[in-house]
């Protein structure tokens, strides 16, 4: 009973973080390992459970997505295409091989979020070369999300902050939608080919759904600049911590 309550509380927290920044995998992965779920199964189980968080975040983000659906669908389609490749790769290998690289991805995301936008960057934001580059990056982030997923939300936010000329709350809503589609696609592959721990699914999906719905609402009351700076520094601190655990 205590472990179920613990799972619900942590899933609720993970859901809120998912709606704000996208850190459910990073929050729940060590939790499932701590209660004895094997690494590959934990990774796949979290991905399946996160579909419920996606339902919550998308429902809660409908206001921000109004008038942005075409862009959101294109981003989600490209991201989910990468997710298919990543999920397939996970069925053929071990997610532990990526853990040493996670701190570097998170550090890169933090730096991108804190790096100021220049006038030159703004004027060439829609150049053909930059568009193609961003498309490749979105595909690769989707691949990473399907393969391991830890802090993939941070990476998506960092990339979208450079290519979407709008407020944080808008491109975060696009990220929520893209993550939802990516997780659906990856979940189908995982359910067919990987062991899912269904015994923990109910507390996970209930907490993730409620938290996922709350997260985007919280964002409406926080200034965008404060969010970006906070998220950027959290990413850098998290990268240092995870780097220390991975290499020392």
pTM across the whole model: 0.82
> Does residue 37 register a pLDDT over 80?
yes
CA-based max dimension of the chain: 57
What is the average per-residue pLDDT within 38-56?
89
| CA 143/CA 166 separation, integer angstroms | 25
pLDDT-based confidence at residue 127 (cuts at 50, 70, 90): low
pLDDT per residue as tens digits for the range 191-245: 998 889 999 999 999 999 999 999 999 988 888 778 778 878 877 887 887 778 7
* H helix count then E strand count, the chain: 12, 0
Q: If we measure between CA atoms, which residue out of 71, 22, 24, 73 comes closest to residue 216?
A: 22
Cβ within 8 Å of residue 84, ≥6 positions away: 146, 185, 186, 189
What is the pLDDT, as a whole number, of residue 35? 85
| Start-to-end CA span in the chain (Å) | 35
CA 169 to each of CA 14, 68, 150, 163: distance values in angstroms, whole numbers, following the listed order: 18, 12, 21, 14
Residue 174's pLDDT is: 93
Mean pLDDT of all residues in 82-110: 73
Q: Report pLDDT digits (tens) over 176-185.
A: 999 899 889 8
């Amino acid at each position: 009973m205590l472990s179920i309550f613990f799972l619900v509380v942590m899933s609720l927290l993970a859901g809120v973080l998912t709606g704000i920044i996208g850190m459910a995998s990073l929050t729940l992965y060590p939790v499932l390992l701590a209660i004895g779920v094997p690494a590959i199964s934990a990774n796949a189980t979290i991905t399946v459970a996160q579909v419920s968080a996606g339902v919550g975040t998308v429902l809660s983000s409908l206001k921000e997505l109004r008038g942005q659906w075409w862009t959101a669908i294109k981003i989600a389609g490209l991201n989910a295409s990468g997710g298919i490749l990543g999920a397939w790769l996970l069925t053929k290998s071990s997610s532990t091989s990526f853990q040493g690289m996670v701190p570097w991805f998170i550090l890169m995301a933090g730096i991108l979020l804190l790096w100021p936008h220049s006038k030159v960057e703004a004027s060439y934001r829609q150049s053909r070369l930059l568009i193609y580059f961003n498309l490749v990056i979105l595909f690769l982030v989707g691949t990473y999300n399907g393969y391991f997923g830890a802090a993939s939300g941070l990476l998506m936010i960092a990339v979208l902050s450079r290519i979407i000329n709008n407020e944080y709350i808008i491109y975060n809503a696009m990220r929520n939608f893209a993550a939802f589609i990516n997780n659906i696609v990856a979940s189908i592959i995982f359910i067919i080919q990987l062991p899912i721990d269904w015994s923990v699914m109910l507390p996970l999906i209930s907490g993730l759904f409620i938290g996922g719905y709350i997260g985007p609402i919280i964002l409406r009351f926080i200034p965008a600049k404060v969010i970006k700076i906070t998220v950027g520094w959290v990413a850098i601190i998290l990268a240092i911590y995870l780097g220390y655990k991975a290499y020392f």
